[in-house]
């Protein structure tokens, strides 16, 4: 049975999750909100982020959505508990996939040099601190914050200047090469959008939570994962169908139909 899913982020980071879900469930209908009016959430106060989440989830209720994905690590860390108290429909959040440590028992993370990239607000949130204590009590993961990275992705989407983007990305990530990470957990939904470029600079494999968020959504909707259509990894440029979805950003305040290639052009070149 077809489902109607609302997905939102402070910008376009949630498109990675939308892309994965639209490949796995081509009969589902998707509504996406980019909160460009206050993007990024990574340095905004708690009260503002909670207010924005309330308004956007209310829009999804009006569109008749069966579930909502808060496709933003910062929004999840700062607002998801309150949103679940206020709304009856299923709300799925996203967090840095620190449980990767437990999901890959064959690896010796004492020697694997594992890193994580998160926003400043995520890093300072109590939810993230609790997650670190729960999933990484031995402090095996080196966590770094880069505020400018999410806005840089948004500038790539709006300006479509890939060479300029790569030049600035190299400047931002080069200081992290000293850690010689073998793998890096991507703790902001904007980061998997450029996972292939991050891997190129850091020479490390990117770990994205996208598929695990999809699984959580399917579980909440009591959907059998065996019914998925085949999908590709979304941290590298996939061969994908350019599915249409309903889109709204908080600058224009109108719903319109868009395709993923309208934003993530580098995945379709």
Cα R_g (the chain), whole angstroms: 18
Contact in structure between 89 and 67 (CB atoms under 8 Å): yes
Answer for the pair 186, 206: CB distance below 8 angstroms, yes or no: yes
The pLDDT value recorded for residue 236 is: 43
Q: Which pLDDT belongs to residue 106? A: 56
CB 115 within 8 A of CB 144: yes
Compute the distance between CA of residue 109 and CA of residue 49 in angstroms, rounded to an integer.
Answer: 35
Q: What is the mean pLDDT of residues 173-187?
A: 94
User: Which residue in this structure is represented by tokens 């729960």?
Assistant: 134
Question: Which residues form the catalytic set?
Answer: 72, 188
Q: In sequence order, what are the residues at sequence separation of 6 or more whose Cβ sits closer than 8 angstroms to the Cβ of residue 169?
A: 149, 152, 194, 197, 198, 201
Q: What is the mean pLDDT of residues 149-173?
A: 96
**149/145 Cα distance (integer angstroms):** 9
- Judged by average pLDDT, the poorest of 1-10, 58-67, 92-101, 231-240 is 231-240
Cα separation, 51 vs 59, in Å, equals: 13
The proportion of the chain whose per-residue pLDDT surpasses 90, expressed as a percent, equals 60
Q: Mean per-residue pLDDT for 147-153?
A: 92
pLDDT over 70 (residue 233): no
**Looking up tokens 């959430």, which residue turns up?**
41
Rounded to the nearest integer, the mean pLDDT of the chain is 88
**Interval 98-107 mean pLDDT:** 67
Mean pLDDT computed over 55-81: 94
Please check the confidence at residue 237 and state whether its pLDDT lies above 60: no
H/E stretch holding 133 reads: helix 126-135
Amino acid 2: pLDDT: 84
Q: CATH 3.40.50.1860: which residues of the chain? A: 4-94+210-267, 100-207
Q: How far apart are CA 255 and CA 15, in angstroms?
A: 16
Mean of pLDDT values over 194-210: 95
Residue 15, pLDDT score:
95
Q: Are 52 and 257 in contact (CB under 8 A)?
A: no
User: What per-residue confidence (pLDDT) applies to 192?
Assistant: 94
Domain 100-207, what architecture? Answer: 3-Layer(aba) Sandwich (3.40)
- Of the two residues 42 and 143, the one the predictor is more confident about is 143
pLDDT band at 229 (very low <50, low <70, confident <90, very high): low
Q: How large is the average pLDDT for residues 188-213?
A: 93
Task: Give the model's pLDDT for residue 211.
Answer: 86
Mean pLDDT, range 42-62, rounded to an integer: 94
Task: Supply the DSSP string of 235-264, one letter for each residue.
Answer: SS-------EEEEEETTT---EEEEGGGT-
26 against 99, higher pLDDT: 26
Cα–Cα distance for residue pair 205/114, rounded to 1 Å: 10
pLDDT at position 242 is 82
What is the pLDDT at residue 109?
Answer: 61
Whether CATH 3.30.2420.10 fits 4-94+210-267: no
Confirm if 243 and 53 have CB atoms less than 8 A apart.
Answer: no
């Amino acid at each position: 049975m077809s489902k109607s899913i609302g997905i939102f982020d402070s910008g376009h980071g949630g498109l990675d999750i939308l892309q994965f879900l639209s490949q796995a469930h081509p009969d589902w209908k998707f509504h996406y909100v980019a909160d460009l009016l206050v993007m990024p959430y990574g340095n905004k106060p708690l009260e503002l982020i909670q207010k924005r989440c309330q308004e956007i989830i209310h829009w999804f209720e009006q569109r008749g959505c069966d579930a909502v994905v808060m496709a933003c690590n910062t929004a999840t860390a700062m607002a998801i508990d309150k949103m679940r108290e206020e709304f009856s429909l299923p709300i799925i959040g996203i967090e840095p996939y620190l449980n990767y440590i437990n999901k890959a028992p064959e690896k010796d993370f004492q020697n694997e040099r594992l890193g994580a990239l998160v926003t400043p607000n995520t890093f300072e949130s109590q939810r993230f601190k609790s997650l670190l204590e729960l999933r990484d009590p031995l402090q095996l993961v080196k966590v770094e914050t880069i505020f400018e990275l999410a806005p840089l992705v948004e500038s790539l989407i709006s300006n479509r200047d890939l060479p300029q983007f790569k030049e600035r990305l190299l400047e931002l990530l080069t200081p992290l090469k000293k850690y010689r990470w073998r793998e890096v957990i991507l703790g902001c939904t904007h980061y998997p959008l450029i996972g292939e470029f991050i891997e190129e600079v850091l020479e490390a494999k990117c770990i994205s939570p996208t598929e695990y968020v999809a699984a959580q959504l399917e579980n909440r909707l009591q959907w059998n994962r065996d019914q998925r259509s085949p999908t590709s990894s979304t941290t590298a440029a996939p061969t994908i169908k350019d599915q249409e979805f309903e889109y709204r950003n908080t600058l224009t305040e109108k719903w319109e139909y868009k395709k993923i290639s309208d934003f993530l052009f580098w995945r379709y070149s």
